[in-house]
Chains A and B, each alone.
Chain A
Amino acid sequence: MEFFDLFREDRWPHMFCPGCGIGTVMNCFHRAFSEMNMDQDKTVFVSGIGCASRIIGYIRADSIHTTHGRALAVATGIKLANPDLNVIVFSGDGDIGAIGGNHFINAARRNVDISVFCINNYIYGMTGGQASTTTPYKSFSTTTPYGSKEYPFDLAEVAVASGANYVARWTIRNVKELTSSMTKAMQKKGFSFVEIASPCPTSFGRRNRMADPTQMFEWLKIIAVRKEKSQAWGLDQLDLNIEGRITIGEFIERNRSPYGLIA
Chain B
Amino acid sequence: MQVKVNPRYCKGCNLCVKVCPNRAFDQGNELSERGYFPPVLARPEKCANFKRKTRKNAVCELCVLTCPDQALTWDEEGGVEG
Chain A nearest Cβ from B22, distance in angstroms? 16
Chain B 10-37 against A: per-residue CB contact (8 Å), 1 yes, 0 no?
0111110111000000000000001010
Alpha-carbon gap, A21 to B66, bound state (A): 8
Q: Which residue of A lies closest to B18 (CB)?
A: A214
User: Which chain A residues border B46 with CB–CB below 8 Å?
Assistant: none
B66 touches A12 (CB 8 A): no
Residue from the list A14, A27, A175, A217 in contact with B18, Cβ < 8 A: A217
B14 touches A27 (CB 8 A): no
- With A13-B9, A18-B13 in contact, do A175 and B36 touch (Cβ < 8 Å)? no
User: Which chain A residues border B65 with CB–CB below 8 Å?
Assistant: 24, 27-28, 31, 175-176, 179
A50 within 8 A of B: no
- With A12-B9, A217-B15 in contact, do A19 and B68 touch (Cβ < 8 Å)? yes
Q: Which residue of B lies closest to A27 (CB)?
A: B65
Chain B interface residue count, Cβ-Cβ cutoff 8 angstroms: 20
Chain B nearest Cβ from A41, distance in angstroms? 23
User: Which chain B residues border A172 with CB–CB below 8 Å?
Assistant: 66
A24 touches B66 (CB 8 A): yes
User: Which chain B residues border A175 with CB–CB below 8 Å?
Assistant: 62, 65-66
- With A27-B67, A214-B14, A217-B15 in contact, do A18 and B9 touch (Cβ < 8 Å)? no
A213 touches B13 (CB 8 A): yes
B43 within 8 A of A: no
Alpha-carbon gap, A26 to B70, bound state (A): 9
B66 touches A214 (CB 8 A): no
B76 within 8 A of A: no
Q: Is the interface of B mostly helix, strand, loop or mixed?
A: loop
B15 touches A14 (CB 8 A): no
B64 within 8 A of A: yes
B69 touches A213 (CB 8 A): no
Output the residue of A12, A16, A218 with the most chain B CB within 10 A: A12
A152 within 8 A of B: no
B15 touches A19 (CB 8 A): yes
Q: Which residue of B lies closest to A13 (CB)?
A: B9
User: Which chain B residues border A3 with CB–CB below 8 Å?
Assistant: 70
Residue from the list B14, B15, B62, B69 in contact with A13, Cβ < 8 A: B69
Q: Which residue of B lies closest to A3 (CB)?
A: B70
Chain A 13-36 against B: per-residue CB contact (8 Å), 1 yes, 0 no?
110111111111011100100000
Q: 5 nearest interchain CB pairs? A: A23-B68, A18-B11, A19-B13, A175-B65, A213-B13
21 residue pairs A–B, Cβ–Cβ below 8 Å: A3-B70, A13-B8, A13-B9, A13-B11, A13-B69, A16-B69, A18-B12, A18-B13, A19-B13, A19-B15, A21-B68, A22-B68, A23-B68, A23-B70, A27-B64, A27-B70, A31-B65, A173-B66, A179-B65, A213-B13, A213-B15
Binding site for B on A (CB under 8 A): 3, 7, 12-14, 16-24, 26-28, 31, 172-173, 175-176, 179, 213-214, 217-218
Q: A18-B12, A31-B65, A213-B13 are in contact. List 16 more A-B contacts (CB 8 A).
A: A12-B9, A13-B34, A18-B13, A19-B15, A21-B68, A23-B69, A23-B70, A24-B67, A27-B70, A173-B19, A175-B65, A175-B66, A176-B65, A214-B13, A214-B17, A218-B18
